Amino acid sequence: MSSNNNMSLKLKVWRQENENSKGQMVDYSLEDVSPDSSFLEMIDQLNEELVEKGDEPVAFDHDCREGICGMCSMMINGQAHGPESETTTCQLHMRKFKDGDTIAIEPWRAKAFPVHKDLMVDRSSFDAIIQAGGYVSVNTGNAQDANSILVPKTDADLAMDAAACIGCGACVASCKNASAMLFVSAKVSQLALLPQGKVEAEQRVLNMVDKMDELGFGNCTNEAECEASCPKAISISNIARLNREFLSAAVKSRH
């Protein structure tokens, strides 16, 4: 370690040219990494060195770098978004690692999340689930006064908690079955708990679950890895609500 407390790291990074090519882990050494830099800044530093050498930089997704968009999806030493709980990759700082550490960096692994290149995956399957029903389409007219539709505080709080989901896909990547149940349940719960969402509640849950199954996501086996890895601490109690909503809607649709 240098005198300014910067770190030397050994990186094992997944490199894959495209969806149809075979990928592999590639070893890199990186010196003079500041513990105050973010994980993505560390990747930027690596890429600067690769470009200077004439090598192809590591492709990875990012946008806001504020833990809002969910694009910075990486498996870091086998953990979605890395070792810091309730934190996205872009919010993870290198002070969580030690000088001389070896860090393995991989993309999400799921049939429904094909790898575009290196650490970039195609998460448009989540968009397809939302398009299948994760919205309110009723004509509500102009915005109403805040107190014109009364919502119990408990329901409002639960809906807000569910709405915190950023759709990053950590739940899918952490699940041995690549289940999207936590994501879908958060989106269903967000609307099912509010008066505006009850109009289309039954068709919504049926459509979204059907689309989830169609896209190849696996089943939930209640191991709670999704909740443990979620950067927004979305509760698996939402999955129980999703199951109740789905069973009720399925029974009514048969009559």
Tens-place pLDDT, residues 9-46:
999 999 999 999 999 999 999 999 999 999 999 999 99
- Contact residues for 152 (Cβ-Cβ < 8 A; gap 6+): none
The full DSSP string for 52-105 is HTTPPPPP---S-SSSSS-----EETTEET-SSTT--GGG-BGGGS-TT-EEEE
Tens-place pLDDT, residues 77-123:
999 999 999 999 999 999 999 999 999 999 999 999 999 999 999 99
The predicted model scores a pTM of 0.92
What are the structural domains of the chain?
Answer: 7-116 (3.10.20.30), 123-137+147-253 (1.10.1060.10)
What was the pLDDT predicted at 189?
97
